[in-house]
């Protein structure tokens, strides 16, 4: 059986399913037992554990991409090998997948970001097939950080090194953050404290709005804050660590 053909077909089904999931309340039945993956440069391999919450078998496929959500497994072009790439998961069982870095050159002065994809296709009963019912495929996607061995300080130190400032925009006030560190910083909550009142950022519409990359900038609108900055404000924010745990921080944001 041609594995490439299977991969392409499964991904095409996933694209259709994702469009439908937006209009229905649905939840994947195979759970990734982590919220992010950190691959240290000196790691021989990293394992990712999956668990099926389903009451019937499912077919699962895993692959990595470098940020292109539309990249099929055979065209993703990432320096990792995943085994097994396609497998059957029985009801209530677990599956371990192994990721191995293949050694291609990656930046040594900062983290590199990839994405781990899990696609599950539920089994179809004979009755459902005869009734021509639609079977939904579910795709989950989490971040994978490739971390070089000799970065200058710990990842836990990165949030304190972020540089914030308040700026005026056509829509009102906003926060801008610059990340001078070699680490990706992922946010949970962000708000400005002005005269004792919290002003939260505009709710994010994509994962990119929840993160600032190494050497990059991000901007967060503050829809309830209308006054122009007159002095440094306090920024209260939480970040997610390597284990997905929320960590609270505060900083000042000059105008």
> What's the rounded Cα separation, in Å, for the pair 162 and 53?
39
- Residue 66 maps to which CATH number? 2.60.40.10
Domain boundary among 110, 127, 147: 147
Tell me, yes or no, whether 58 and 180 share the same domain.
no
Name the 3-class secondary structure at 73.
helix
Q: From CA 135, how far away is CA 121, in angstroms rounded?
A: 8
- The pLDDT value given to residue 134: 57
Cα gap 68→154, rounded to integer Å: 29
pLDDT at 45: 97
pLDDT tier at 7, thresholds 50, 70, 90: very low
The last residue of one of the domains, among 147, 169, 198, is: 147
Whether 18 and 135 map to the same domain: the answer is yes
pLDDT category, 130, cuts 50, 70, 90?
low
Please provide the average confidence, as pLDDT, over all residues in the chain: 86
**Could you tell me if 189 and 136 lie in one domain?**
no
How do the residues of the chain divide into helix, strand and coil, expressed in percent and rounded to 5? 15, 45, 40
Q: Are residues 127 and 175 in the same domain?
A: no
User: What pLDDT, on a 0 to 100 scale, did the predictor assign at position 168?
Assistant: 87
Q: Is residue 150 scored above 90 in pLDDT? A: yes
Residue 211: strand pairing partners: 186
Q: In angstroms, what CA-CA distances link 54 with 84, 94, 128, 165, 211?
A: 20, 11, 17, 47, 32
Q: What is the pLDDT of residues 36-81, one digit of tens each?
A: 999 999 999 999 999 999 888 999 999 999 999 888 888 888 999 9
b/e per residue, 28-67, with b = 16+ CB within 10 A?
bbbebebebbbbeeeeeebebebebebeeebbbbbbbbee
139 has pLDDT over 50: yes
Range of the domain at 129: 3-147
- The more confident residue out of 66 and 18 is 66
What 3-state DSSP class applies to 214?
coil
138 and 173 both lie in a single domain: no
Q: Find out whether 218 and 177 touch, Cβ atoms under 8 Å.
A: yes
How many helices and strands in the chain, by DSSP H and E?
2, 17
Residues 165, 221 share a domain: yes
Do 74 and 169 fall into the same domain? no
Average pLDDT over residues 190-203: 91
Structural domain count, the chain: 2
pLDDT for the residue numbered 244? 95
CA-CA distances (angstroms) from residue 19 to 11, 65, 105? 13, 20, 36
Residues 159 and 143 in one domain: no
Last residue of some domain: 147, 172, 205?
Answer: 147
Based on the domain organization, do 164 and 122 belong to the same domain? Answer: no
- Has residue 25 got a pLDDT over 60? no
| Alpha carbon distance 238, 249 (integer Å) | 6
Model-level pTM?
A: 0.83
Query: How many other C-beta atoms lie within 10 A of the C-beta of residue 160?
Result: 10
Please check the confidence at residue 6 and state whether its pLDDT lies above 60.
no
* 80 and 130 part of one domain: yes
The answer on 168 and 139 residing in a single domain is: no
């Amino acid at each position: 059986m041609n594995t490439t053909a299977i991969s392409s077909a499964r991904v095409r089904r996933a694209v259709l399913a994702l469009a439908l999931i937006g209009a229905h309340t649905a939840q994947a039945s195979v759970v990734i037992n982590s919220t992010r993956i950190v691959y240290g440069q000196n790691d021989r391999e990293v394992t990712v554990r999956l668990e099926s919450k389903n009451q019937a078998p499912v077919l699962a496929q895993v692959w990595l991409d470098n940020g292109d959500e539309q990249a099929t497994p055979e065209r993703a072009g990432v320096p990792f090998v995943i085994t097994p790439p396609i497998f059957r998961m029985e009801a209530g069982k677990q599956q371990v997948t192994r990721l191995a870095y293949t050694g291609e050159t990656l930046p040594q002065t900062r983290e590199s970001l990839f994405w781990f994809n899990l696609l599950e296709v539920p089994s179809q009963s004979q009755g459902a097939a005869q009734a021509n019912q639609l079977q939904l495929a579910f795709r989950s996607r989490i971040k994978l950080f490739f971390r070089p061995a000799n970065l200058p300080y710990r990842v836990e130190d990165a949030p304190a090194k972020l540089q914030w400032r308040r700026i005026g925009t056509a829509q009102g006030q906003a926060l801008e953050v610059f990340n001078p560190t070699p680490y990706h910083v992922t946010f949970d909550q962000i708000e400005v404290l002005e005269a004792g009142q919290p002003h939260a950022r505009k709710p994010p519409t994509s994962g990119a709005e929840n993160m600032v990359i190494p050497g990059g900038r991000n901007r967060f609108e503050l829809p309830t804050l209308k006054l122009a900055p007159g002095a440094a404000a306090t920024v209260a924010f939480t970040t997610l660590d390597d284990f997905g745990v929320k960590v609270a921080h505060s900083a000042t944001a000059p105008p």
